[in-house]
């Protein structure tokens, strides 16, 4: 892992409201490695938007440190902060394009900020439009574009300031699943091509799965868990993370069973008839409570919840067999409850 490009230390943010102080972030610390795609996930109101907006000081933290590229942002003058911000791009849920400028001039805007002449700025802007595949819309106005196209323009605009970091604040939340996929692909491409570190804020687990290499789970303003994405999917530790990972599996709550084991497939094991073999070998029917396959970071990740037989010996043999096949079996009696019931932990 390379050096941290973003370092958040003991970040707190509270707002004054009619009902008194509301604390949006509580002692959040995290560090994001260079070239990483880092996801911050949480339910709405968890404080993730506030957190990402602290990373370029659109939101002023109440206390703590935000260190980007080795600079403590809170100690910078307005001028220096603006210079730093040019290296920290941001895209938004509602795109935030200049509505009275055409697409080309929107992309040229950061170049004008950097002091380029209009003609030169436009020429360069056109190249960035080509990067996102929208050069034929150069003369159109944002109101004439679809959501996905608007986000592409926003991405081209952010690229034009040659940032080292790209903050995405719910950048795909206003888009349909198809468009979301194509935007995520573009982001991944940008990450690989330009080496830009990307921070993704989202409430959708699918977004994290698709592109993030690391993920942090935020809950009620606290960072409750952070790990490599595969790791979090394989073995979420906290109830909040489990709830996000198993968000589709509330229905298994109804199933009552003494012993349930969770197994995981990845890579090749998904092609072996493991369950078939185990039934043949132990001569015991097994009950599948839940199964799902997801693509995490380009690799297939499968998981299943298997109800074990009453017979101790047979149960032991099944677990041993899973272990032998590298399926990482874990008894998950407690997760069944905590996955669906937030108050049960």
Partner 1 sequence: MLSQQEILMIIEGLRDTLIIVGFSTFFGYLLGLPLGIVLAVTDKEGIRPSPAVYKVLDLVTNVLRSFPFIILLVVLIPVTRAIVGKSYGTAATIVPLVVAAAPFIGRLVESSLKEVDKGVIEAAQSLGASKATIIFKVLLPEARTSLLVGVTIAFGTILGYSAMAGAVGGGGLGSIAIRYGYNRFQPQILWPSVILLILLVQLFQVLGMHLSKKLDRR
CB 153 within 8 Å of CB 106: yes
Q: Site for partner 1 (CB under 8 A): which residue of 25, 36, 51, 85?
A: 85
Binding flag, residue 328, partner 1 (CB under 8 A): no
Q: Answer yes or no whether residue 84 interacts with partner 1 by CB under 8 A.
A: yes
Toward partner 1, which CB reaches closer, 109 or 126? 109
Q: Is 88 in the site for partner 1 (CB under 8 A)?
A: yes
Q: Does 143 bind partner 1 (CB under 8 A)?
A: yes
Which range of residues in 79-87, 207-215, 254-262, 306-314 is near partner 1 by CB under 8 A? 79-87
- Residue from 17, 18, 70, 99 binding partner 1 (CB under 8 A): 99
Q: Does 112 bind partner 1 (CB under 8 A)?
A: yes
Q: Is 199 in the site for partner 1 (CB under 8 A)?
A: no
Asked if residue 1 binds partner 1 (CB under 8 A), the reply is: no
Choice between 69 and 96, CB closer to partner 1: 96
Q: Is position 94 an interface residue for partner 1 (rule: CB under 8 A)?
A: yes
3-state secondary structure the chain: CCCEEEEEEEEEEEEEECCEEEEEEEEEEEEEECCCEEEEECCCCCCHHHHHHHCCCCCCCCEEEEEECCEEHHHCCHHHHHHHHCCEEEEECCCCCCCCCCHHHHHHHHHHHCCCCHHHHHHHHHHHHHHCCCHHHCCCCHHHCCHHHHHHHHHHHHHHCCCCEEEEECCCCCCCHHHHHHHHHHHHHHHHHHCCEEEEEECCHHHHHHHCCEEEEEECCEEEEEEEHHHHHHCCCCHHHHHHHCCCCHHHHHCCCCCEEEEEEEHHHHHCCHHHHHHHHHCCCCEEEEEEEEEECCEEEEEEEEECCCCHHHHHHHHHHHHHCCCCCEECHHHHHHHHCCCCC
What does each C-alpha distance from 22 to 8, 46, 54, 203, 343 come to in angstroms? 20, 12, 16, 21, 22
Query: Quick one: which of 24, 154, 175, 260 contacts partner 1 (CB under 8 A)?
Result: 154
Q: Would you count residue 83 as binding partner 1 (CB under 8 A)?
A: yes
Contacting partner 1 (CB under 8 A), which of 26, 35, 101, 123? 101
Number of chain positions touching partner 1 (CB under 8 A): 34
Considering only 5-13, 105-113, 209-217, 314-322, which stretch makes contact with partner 1 by CB under 8 A? 105-113
- Segment near partner 1 (CB under 8 A), from 10-18, 38-46, 138-146, 183-191? 138-146
Under the binding rule (CB under 8 A), the answer on residue 287 touching partner 1 is no
Examine residue 158 and tell whether it contacts partner 1 (CB under 8 A). yes
Query: Judged by CB under 8 A, does residue 110 bind partner 1?
Result: yes
- Interface residues with partner 1 (CB under 8 A)? 56, 58, 78-79, 81-86, 88-90, 92, 94, 96-102, 109-110, 112-113, 141-143, 154, 157-158, 161, 167
């Amino acid at each position: 892992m390379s050096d941290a490009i973003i370092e958040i230390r003991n970040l707190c943010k509270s707002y004054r409201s009619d009902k008194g102080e509301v604390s949006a972030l509580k002692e959040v610390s995290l560090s994001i490695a260079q070239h990483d795609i880092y996801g911050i996930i949480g339910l709405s109101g968890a404080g993730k938007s506030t957190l990402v907006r602290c990373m370029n000081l659109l939101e002023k933290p109440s206390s703590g440190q935000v260190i980007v590229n080795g600079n403590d942002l809170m100690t910078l003058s307005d001028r220096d902060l603006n210079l730093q911000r040019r290296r920290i791009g941001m895209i938004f849920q509602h795109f935030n394009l200049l509505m009275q400028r055409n697409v080309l001039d929107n992309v040229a805007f950061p170049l004008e900020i950097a002091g380029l002449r209009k003609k030169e700025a436009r020429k360069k802007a056109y190249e960035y439009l080509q990067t996102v595949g929208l050069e034929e819309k150069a003369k159109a106005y944002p109101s004439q574009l679809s959501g996905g196209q608007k986000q592409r323009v926003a991405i081209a605009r952010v690229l034009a300031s040659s940032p080292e970091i790209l903050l995405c604040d719910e950048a795909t939340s206003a888009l349909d699943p198809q468009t979301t996929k194509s935007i995520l692909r573009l982001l991944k491409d940008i990450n690989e091509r330009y080496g830009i570190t990307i921070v993704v804020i989202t409430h959708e687990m699918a977004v994290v799965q698709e592109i993030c290499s690391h993920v942090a789970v935020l809950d009620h303003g606290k960072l409750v868990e952070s790990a490599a994405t595969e790791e979090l999917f394989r073995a979420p530790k906290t109830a909040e993370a489990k709830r996000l990972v198993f968000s589709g599996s509330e229905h298994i709550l109804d199933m009552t069973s003494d012993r349930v084991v969770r197994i995981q497939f990845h890579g090749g094991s998904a092609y072996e008839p493991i369950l078939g073999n185990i039934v043949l070998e132990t001569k015991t029917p097994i009950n599948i409570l839940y199964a799902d396959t997801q693509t995490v970071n380009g690799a297939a990740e499968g998981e299943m919840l298997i109800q074990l037989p009453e017979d101790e010996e047979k149960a032991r043999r099944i677990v041993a067999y899973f272990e032998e096949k590298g399926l990482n079996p874990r008894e998950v009696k407690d997760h069944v409850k905590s996955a669906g019931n937030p108050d049960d932990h």
